[in-house]
Structure 1
């Protein structure tokens, strides 16, 4: 016998039968959602194309945001005053101390320019090969993190410390003639210089670090996973590319990315099955804490 619902007619409850068509439609919708959310083996060339197009779109939108120089410099002054009020405004000291060690700051410039690409892609490849059941959800967390960061670039233009008025910070790329930032030197016209909030160096490195720590079974790799975002934090401050609070913004963006995954898949990506179901095998369900 079909389900019944109670409706009020003339002040009295009356049972109205639910049609089989409604049940069929609801079942079809539920089945479609379940199929979409079921982890499946990613396709290599599709993933390469998707990642390339996504990063190209992200860069295009980020650089298309108007470079509101006056507002960005004003916001930088406001952030600096806020950090002074909070007692955490030590970025200038870190910048000058590290800049005095030439080999170290040059290494940090190249670290800033390259590792957020190399490590992030490396973790994606590792997930694709070793954790195919978790790949799509973890990739979705990364994409959602990156997408929401664009709102910060648009609504809160922020100059990096090295471009602030007053000359308190050293632009380490200019001083040491390296190519450690797409927003410095000869490459400055290729990138929006006033999109420092949030820091995606932190958002991406924290995504990498948490993923390695949660899924790796090798102890030294798990340690490196934790050290990577911590080192990145030192680098973005020492090179005067970001404030501490930019790192907080990147962390909040990552929290949003994981929330999207939790809502869509019903679990965090690391709780999903490592492998995907094969033909004829029942669908694998997320592990529950």
Structure 2
């Protein structure tokens, strides 16, 4: 098959350091915006600081890898003995765990840094996620070394095409090749823009969303529910990458007609290159999985489909509600268009990613099993978990009223 008549001259290319710098600026900007404003790291005693075990929301001391529901927080509080520095009793999934009490370390310098900048803990969680992703390529290659991972991934990609075009659910799936060629022949400028969207928005956009929502969410439990959903989606997707390597359309043999427009347009992201990048991770599409989660959160945050505000949540004007609603719908659609037009994913990849997000939302409390591990990790580094600052701006607004 002849290559479609699309020849693009790259409009611009970011230098290699620009994207990491962008992410660093977002993260450290979030650290500054979410800092504990009444707390000083090098002051001997801060009138604003108290241990999470002494606070009114003491049950949040372990959160939140995942957030506990209110009744579970009460159970957790009641299960703690009142003796100073006595062990914590964590009841998770019907099993009681005894973990060390870290409140004795609250005056250690690194505890005070965490208390001043609680968003550092969120950054740590996402570093773990990123490291897990980087290992998927290595593990998958070892598992399929005998058969050849490239051959296995190509067979999986072709099987998806066959299922979409000739399976019983074929009516659900447009033809990816026709979508890409429509952009190539009729909307080349739009395709060049979609290349940039695919390559350059995914990582900074997701990081920026996490930073923004940590600041604006009406409560930390609300934020943590979203974060847990995204983390569990990551876990399911990364596990799939290991055991089901899948070649994206752009890497299929040339006779299938797909073109790698992102590299052709020189829009390659620094995050998509390197030894540990998994180029055979088409199924599911985490580009769309993240975008779908962001979109659902935006729609919920708009309040359009909710009758009551969450406790402490500030009301929004209709202009802001409409804005969040438009972003909630538009952003996932933009990402879906970009992953198909650039031949980086199949429609089925997006559908499976959607199912993963919904399943993760329904079952994200399973991550509570990591709460005791978090207690032990904090004990090992002699640090106390900081009190989240997510809803502090709402409290400040209440104080001014």
Structure-2 separation of matches of 1:181 and 1:239: 17
1:112 paired residue number? 198
Contact map agreement 1:65 1:192 (CA 8 A) in 2: no
Q: TM-score, normalised by structure 2?
A: 0.53
Alignment of 1:45-194 (within 5 A): 45-51=120-126, 53-67=127-141, 68-85=149-166, 86-87=170-171, 88-100=173-185, 101-131=187-217, 132-133=219-220, 134-165=222-253, 166-179=255-268, 187=273, 190-194=276-280
Shift of 1:236: 0.4
Structure-2 separation of matches of 1:249 and 1:188: 27
Higher relative contact order (CA 8 A, sep 6+): 2
* In the alignment, structure 1 residue 240 sits paired with structure 2 residue 328: no
1:227 paired residue number? 330
Deviation digits for residues 71-123 of structure 1 (CA, Å, limit 9, x no counterpart): 11111111111111114251000111112333211211111112122222222
Alignment of 1:12-27 (within 5 A): none
Q: TM-score, normalised by structure 1?
A: 0.72
Structure-2 separation of matches of 1:74 and 1:110: 29
Shift of 1:59: 2.6
Aligned residues: 237
* In the alignment, structure 1 residue 209 sits paired with structure 2 residue 290: no
Contact map agreement 2:229 2:364 (CA 8 A) in 1: yes
* In the alignment, structure 1 residue 28 sits paired with structure 2 residue 79: yes
CA, structure 1 residues 81+181, in 2 after alignment: closer, same or farther (shift >3 Å)?
farther
Shift of 1:54: 2.3
Structure-2 separation of matches of 1:227 and 1:174: 25
Greater helix content: 1
Structure-1 separation of matches of 2:292 and 2:200: 16
Q: Which runs of 5+ in 1 are unaligned?
A: 1-24, 266-273, 279-289
Which of 241, 247, 252 is the equivalent residue of 2:355? 252
What secondary structure does 2:205 align onto? helix
CA, structure 1 residues 259+202, in 2 after alignment: closer, same or farther (shift >3 Å)?
same
